[in-house]
Structure 1
């Protein structure tokens, strides 16, 4: 497990932190169970493939000296050792055309700052444990987007969120195109479900869905003039693919980016529609799943 290997090299005093692993099939439920079992003041959530820097706990702890701060996190970077497809996915996520307002989740940009859920990602995110538990943790009806829903609630109450670009982890992208399609559909569906739970719609949420509907309907109308925006979209995707390939000095990602960009937008848009029309959750907030939490390292004092 990559995360455990990285934790073995941390420079944070060994007797001041503990490590718990939550096993199960519903990540939001697993994380809540681990949070209840934890004994520290700060919860730090990592995925099992998140590769951390040795000083990451020290960097995160410094931000919590500000009593207004409820959550601290950093970006998830794509390793240079990933395959061309994985690198293309990482480039798209980190670009204005692909990632848009959430692209800083996937790149180092600027300095540490107060931020929003747009820049924070759960594979590299910490919370004050008392606030996390006081808000009943992550909404267990959601996966993904469970962290976004919680951070929205915290910010509405006046708490601050911090994005620190130097608090970065490395984490590989999906290995196959099929897995990437499932990922984007799940991301979109989670956003649609989160929108229903929050009862507030961000207009940008619907942009990929409107693009999908437009791309499906306009060719059927047989009006060439209405095809111009669609052609403009593909021209933008072409230019973004070329720019991504040149900026990364990696010609191998260019043909893959040509596929990744439309997939990212259109499949995500389909997921949003599904999440809005047929959410997976039913009834109240809590669900029941089998979860096992193992404490692999405990406080030593």
Structure 2
């Protein structure tokens, strides 16, 4: 028996839901899935609000620009036949039509030098498998609704990394997470270098805050921060030998940039990758330090956010962000 899905998409008021174009072409029975658009300014709060209003057995979270394959719900449904499975997701791929900068960012994320242990979030690799939060990403991720709600959903103090914190809790209880490369969505990377810097800083800060909330330290998460401190302090040490690791790092970035350029078959990637790789490491490292020292949830941030959840038809490709201040569900 096929499960019913509730596809949930958070969006800021006034934004456009481009993901609906792909959902309109899904091959899943129309009566077995619904689409909920959650309007607001704090995605983890929006997702939780929509989850509470959802009618499906499975919550499928997408971003407003996630482009899905027509059979994606069928593929996800197959994995939920195993009752131990709490979450199923796939990678987020960079479209070939993106600009050279965007493709350079996607190339870095999908590489061992850039993405490292989380690179499978951004590339198709291998077959469907039991996995961890290292391979799953919230712009393309589903949960059993009953398990999601039983664990009180996403920690609303976090954004980003709220899904990682929840998946950690699920795995600690012996539940399974599935990564299926064929569940891939396409989603464009940040359009400008400035937006990319903000993204990396936010990712790092979220990781630092998640570390404090969970009380679990993943040593690899501190590597960019330690490297940042090393790079800042080495010039003042007055010991030439201490600079050797820095030179080795620059060679690694050079080789990784060359490899990414050859794989992408576009010379325009090379100069951009030379900037994108160090930015990823250094800015992410700065974000982690900030998250550990000054977590936002201790700074008196607003804890009540206005959210409106609207249930729409998948074929409504021209849906735009609501300007209403009302809470609750808007009917079809």
**Is 1:14 matched up with 2:30?**
yes
* Corresponding residue for residue 61 of structure 1: 77
**Is 1:28 matched up with 2:39?**
no
**Is 1:150 matched up with 2:166?**
yes
**Is 1:5 matched up with 2:60?**
no
Whole-Å separation in 2 of the counterparts to 1:97 and 1:296: 41
Superposed CA offset, 1:232-284 (max 9, x none): 00110000000000011111100000000000000000000000000000399
SS of the residue corresponding to residue 38 of structure 2 reads strand
Shift of 1:18: 0.5
* Corresponding residue for residue 86 of structure 1: 102
Counterpart selection for 2:275 from 256, 259, 280: 259
Counterpart selection for 2:229 from 195, 208, 213: 213
SS of the residue corresponding to residue 157 of structure 2 reads coil
SS of the residue corresponding to residue 18 of structure 1 reads strand
Whole-Å separation in 2 of the counterparts to 1:162 and 1:250: 33
* Corresponding residue for residue 328 of structure 2: none
SS of the residue corresponding to residue 311 of structure 2 reads strand
Q: Which runs of 4+ in 1 moved over 4 A?
A: none
**Is 1:239 matched up with 2:239?**
no
Q: CA RMSD in A?
A: 1.4
* Corresponding residue for residue 287 of structure 1: 303
**Is 1:172 matched up with 2:197?**
no
* Corresponding residue for residue 105 of structure 1: 121
Whole-Å separation in 1 of the counterparts to 2:148 and 2:298: 23
SS of the residue corresponding to residue 22 of structure 1 reads strand
SS of the residue corresponding to residue 252 of structure 2 reads helix
SS of the residue corresponding to residue 107 of structure 1 reads coil
Whole-Å separation in 1 of the counterparts to 2:104 and 2:24: 30
Counterpart selection for 1:182 from 187, 190, 198: 198
TM-score between both structures, scaled by the size of structure 2:
0.88
SS of the residue corresponding to residue 172 of structure 1 reads coil
Counterpart selection for 1:48 from 53, 64, 71: 64
Whole-Å separation in 2 of the counterparts to 1:138 and 1:250: 40
**Is 1:224 matched up with 2:230?**
no
SS of the residue corresponding to residue 44 of structure 1 reads strand
Superposed CA offset, 1:84-140 (max 9, x none): 000000000000000000000000000000000000000000000000000000000
Shift of 1:224: 1.1
* Corresponding residue for residue 137 of structure 1: 153
Q: More helix by proportion, 1 or 2?
A: 1
Whole-Å separation in 1 of the counterparts to 2:159 and 2:266: 33
TM-score between both structures, scaled by the size of structure 1:
0.97
Whole-Å separation in 2 of the counterparts to 1:179 and 1:283: 24
Whole-Å separation in 2 of the counterparts to 1:288 and 1:122: 22
Whole-Å separation in 2 of the counterparts to 1:20 and 1:63: 22
User: Number of residues paired by the alignment?
Assistant: 298
Whole-Å separation in 2 of the counterparts to 1:35 and 1:62: 21
- Long gaps (5+) in structure 2: 1-16, 315-332
Whole-Å separation in 1 of the counterparts to 2:68 and 2:94: 13
Superposed CA offset, 1:141-198 (max 9, x none): 0000000000000000000000000000000000000000000000000000000000
SS of the residue corresponding to residue 91 of structure 1 reads helix
Whole-Å separation in 2 of the counterparts to 1:265 and 1:184: 8
- Long gaps (5+) in structure 1: none
